């Protein structure tokens, strides 16, 4: 099922997962729009909510790492004659486990992962601890602005 409320975010949910409520989808769109106002993102971004099995496949295929992870981003770049595009994949079961461990609502964790993925599409990296700390501060900024304080 695909939802397109406005640019730059399309949301696709794996058919085997319980769909997110319309309010949650709206919140994710609003957060993505705020990130896009501050950071250069691809013209179109697709958020794909998947299960652990598919995330494990992506993780081993593209990162050579076994098992699931929470979020992966792919900058698909420019295709002549088309808008630039990127994809953010979130394992919804992993996000739900992390939300429970952090004692936050699942939407807060999904939103945190979305911002993290979008920041990667904007060129942010976290190869060093101080880069990760800066990325987490920037993520918290957007969550706070959306009234989803971590």
What pLDDT, in 10s, does the model give residues 88-147? 999 999 999 999 999 999 999 999 999 999 999 999 999 999 999 999 999 999 999 999
Q: Which residue is listed with tokens 């319309």?
A: 22
**Cross-strand partners of 11:** 3, 47
CATH number of the domain that 29 lies in?
Answer: 3.40.390.30
Residue 38 covered by a domain: yes
Residue 32 covered by a domain: yes
Q: Give the model's pLDDT for residue 31.
A: 93
Residue 50 covered by a domain: yes
Query: 88: closest CA among 42, 128, 150?
Result: 42
Mean pLDDT of 80-94: 87
Q: Give the model's pLDDT for residue 144.
A: 94
If phi > 0 it is left, if psi is from -120 to 50 it is alpha, else beta; for residue 49 that is: beta
Q: Which are the contacts of 24, defined by CB distance < 8 A and separation ≥ 6?
A: 107, 110
Q: Give the model's pLDDT for residue 7.
A: 54
* 148 vs 99, higher pLDDT: 99
- Here the tokens at position 85 are 């595009």
Q: Give the model's pLDDT for residue 57.
A: 96
Q: Give the model's pLDDT for residue 2.
A: 41
pLDDT beyond 90 at 13: no
Residue 150 covered by a domain: no
Q: Helix, strand, or coil here: 77?
A: strand
**Cross-strand partners of 50:** 91
pLDDT beyond 80 at 83: no
Helix (H) or strand (E) holding 4: strand 2-6
Total domains present in the chain: 1
- Whole-angstrom CA distances from 106 to 47, 81, 92, 97 are 16, 38, 9, 8
Residue 63 belongs to domain spanning: 2-145
């Amino acid at each position: 099922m695909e939802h397109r409320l406005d640019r730059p975010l399309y949301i696709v949910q794996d058919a085997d997962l319980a769909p997110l409520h319309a309010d949650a989808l709206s919140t994710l769109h609003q957060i993505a729009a705020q990130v896009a106002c501050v950071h250069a993102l691809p013209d179109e971004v697709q958020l794909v909510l998947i299960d652990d099995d598919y995330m494990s496949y992506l993780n081993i295929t593209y990162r050579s790492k076994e098992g699931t992870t929470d979020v992966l981003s792919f900058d698909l770049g420019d295709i002549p004659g088309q808008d630039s595009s990127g994809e953010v994949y979130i394992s919804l079961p992993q996000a739900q486990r992390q939300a429970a461990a952090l004692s936050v609502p699942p939407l807060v964790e999904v939103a945190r992962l979305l911002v993290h993925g979008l920041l990667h599409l904007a060129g942010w990296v976290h190869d060093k601890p101080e880069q990760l700390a800066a990325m987490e501060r920037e993520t918290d900024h957007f969550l706070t602005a959306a009234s989803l304080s971590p």
